[in-house]
């Protein structure tokens, strides 16, 4: 019977820890904009690679 109470207590502690981590994530802005990342990869970068003159030993 003691092990049942112990497991219930451990489950309650893990539940509270998960809830606290979720609240921390919400307050720190982790879920502010869930739509933008999937569109960010579709944006065209107009930047061209730098055109440095390469010295080939000539």
- Which position has the higher pLDDT, 2 or 46? 2
> Domain ranges in the chain?
2-40
- Asked if 16 and 24 count as a contact pair (C-beta separation under 8 A), the reply is no
pLDDT for 56 equals 61
State the Cα–Cα distance between residues 29 and 16, nearest whole angstrom: 20
The pTM of the full predicted model, rounded to 2 decimals, is 0.55
DSSP secondary structure string, the chain?
A: -HHHHHHHHHHHHHHHHHHHHHHHHHHTTTTS-SSHHHHHTTSPP-PPPP-PPP----
- Write out pLDDT tens, residues 19-45: 999 999 999 988 888 788 788 888 876
pLDDT for res 46: 65
pLDDT of res. 55: 59
């Amino acid at each position: 019977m003691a092990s049942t109470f112990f497991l219930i207590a451990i489950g309650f502690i893990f539940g509270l820890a998960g809830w606290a981590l979720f609240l921390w994530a919400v307050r720190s802005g982790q879920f502010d904009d869930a739509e933008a990342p999937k569109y960010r990869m579709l944006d065209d970068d107009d930047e061209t690679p730098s055109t440095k003159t390469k010295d080939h030993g000539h």
